[in-house]
Homo-oligomer: A and B are copies of this chain.
Amino acid sequence: MSRRRTATRNPARVATVDPPDPGARVALPHLDKGLPLDGGGVSAAGANVLREDLPLPVCTLRDAALRANSRALLDFLGAVGRATGADVVLAPHGKTTMSPELFHRQLDDGCFGITLATARQVRVARHFGVARVLLANELVGRREIDWVLGELRRDPAFAFTCLVDSVAGVRRLAERAAAVPAGRPLDVLVEAGYAGGRCGVRTLAEGLEVARAVGDAAPLLRLAGVEGYEGLLQTSPPEGRDEAAAAVVRSVADLAHALDADGLLDDADPVLLSAGGSSFYDLAARILAEPALRRPTRIVVRSGCYLTHDAGLYEPLLRRLVARDPLARAEGLAFTPALEVWAHVLSVPEPGLMVLGAGRRDFGEDAGPPALVRHARDGAELATPWLGEAPIERVSDQHAMVALPEGAGLHVGDVVALSPSHPCTTFDKWRAIHVVDDATTVLETVRTWF
């Protein structure tokens, strides 16, 4: 059940489903960072990064890792579904990559839909043929609401759900739905939050009040289920972290129970229960499988980072997940870091210091700086044992300063690969990213739309 194909997945990669709109395209030069300087084309297929066929810095994704990671999470969730008897599906968070080509890889592999964070992200996904979208956020702008309603009217195959956490927010949606009829209900999930967290109702009573406001707005709105987001807790201290995340997911289940008991979920088909960022999807799937509601349920987990993984932020979180979940251990759940940023050694100006030609414009730092993982010279990768002991100690916009072990140093013009921690804040530094094979030869160039 969990490996279902989306009914409307697109056979063509990155097909455009927009209506004909001659004004909707703009001719731009091929100047994106990471593309050949000679402007020869938007794709760099066949170029080899080690051979320096492309200007640096450049960002790559290892194809083998993408494929294995995509399979690994879907297989694990399938196993959880079989073990619990629940309908567990994956709607990966698309804000991680904002790459339509990667969305379609995920959908082709069996994902249920794509999760997104803003109306404009939904617009991008729609343009590139994504049929089922969970907007894991409140939708409050009038312009944004109107666009979603128009899209629901235009395309009967568009499945869309967003979140509500206030009566005021529900009323805004209902007001626009009355003014710009979609011809069918706008589906919403009540968001269950927690004190000190982000959005979401803080109590069962608030949740019931918001749900009743949705009911009052029928048939313009329809209550489709309950959502929560425990993912922010991944950076809280390890002591009690799993319990706190479990409590957030449990509040989703509790609210669903309360709404179900009040008959407020009677129009949901099935009831969607959603939680689960990239660190706690095991807890989300298992806890949300527990409530016995009067109507069928579907559990939607939303990890965005499994596809690329990383050795900084997510590998320790994955190890923790595997340690607590027997099925993850039995399935041998594992991911491989797929994302790398390549840079030249610009200078080795003093003992103990090396300057690289990539900086905070090229990789994220919010979860720590990237690690040096590869070293190449004259087109060949070299084994350089001290790389792992050479941390990036300072970063400026276009440079990274690496602290070197005593006596170590590379040559000016050598090439190094950096492995970022937290993919989200590295993806958004690039408009063109190269999917590469094991020899670091470009197979496909994917675009991002941040």
In chain A, positions 126-150 with a C-beta closer than 8 Å to chain B are 127, 137-138, 140-144, 147
**How many chain A residues touch the partner (CB < 8 A)?**
87
Stretch of A65-73, A306-314, A339-347 lying at the B interface: A339-347
Quick check: is A357 within 8 A (CB to CB) of the other chain?
A: yes
Q: Are A31 and B202 within 8 A (Cβ)?
A: no
Interface 1/0 per residue, A154-183 and B, CB below 8 Å: 000000000001101100100000000000
Q: Are B26 and A361 within 8 A (Cβ)?
A: no
Q: Are A95 and B397 within 8 A (Cβ)?
A: yes
Q: Are A55 and B141 within 8 A (Cβ)?
A: yes
Name the B residues within 8 Å of A357 (CB-CB): 118, 137-138, 140-141
Query: Nearest chain B CB to A246's CB is how many angstroms away?
Result: 21
Name the B residues within 8 Å of A365 (CB-CB): 366
| A95 partner, pick from B166, B398, B428, beta carbons under 8 A | B398
| A166 partner, pick from B38, B348, B449, beta carbons under 8 A | B348
| A347 partner, pick from B39, B165, B425, beta carbons under 8 A | B165
Stretch of A106-114, A193-201, A237-245, A290-298 lying at the B interface: A193-201
Q: Are B411 and A168 within 8 A (Cβ)?
A: yes
| A199 partner, pick from B56, B140, B165, B349, beta carbons under 8 A | B349
Name the B residues within 8 Å of A32 (CB-CB): 449
Q: Are B39 and A26 within 8 A (Cβ)?
A: no
In chain A, positions 1-29 with a C-beta closer than 8 Å to chain B are 16, 18, 21, 23-29
Q: Are A202 and B124 within 8 A (Cβ)?
A: no
Q: How far is the CA of A347 from the CA of B53 in the complex (A)?
A: 48
Q: Are A37 and B349 within 8 A (Cβ)?
A: no
Q: How far is the CA of A24 from the CA of B309 in the complex (A)?
A: 34
Quick check: is A401 within 8 A (CB to CB) of the other chain?
A: yes
Q: Are A141 and B30 within 8 A (Cβ)?
A: no
Residue of B nearest to A57 (CB): B118
Known: A38-B147, A166-B347, A431-B431. 7 other contacts (CB 8 A): A24-B39, A117-B398, A118-B398, A198-B355, A198-B396, A199-B346, A431-B450
A-to-B contact residues, CB < 8 Å: 16, 18, 21, 23-34, 37-42, 52-57, 95, 117-120, 123-124, 127, 137-138, 140-144, 147, 165-166, 168-169, 172, 193, 195-202, 232, 344-350, 353, 355, 357, 360-361, 365-366, 396-399, 401, 411-413, 424-425, 428-429, 431, 449-450
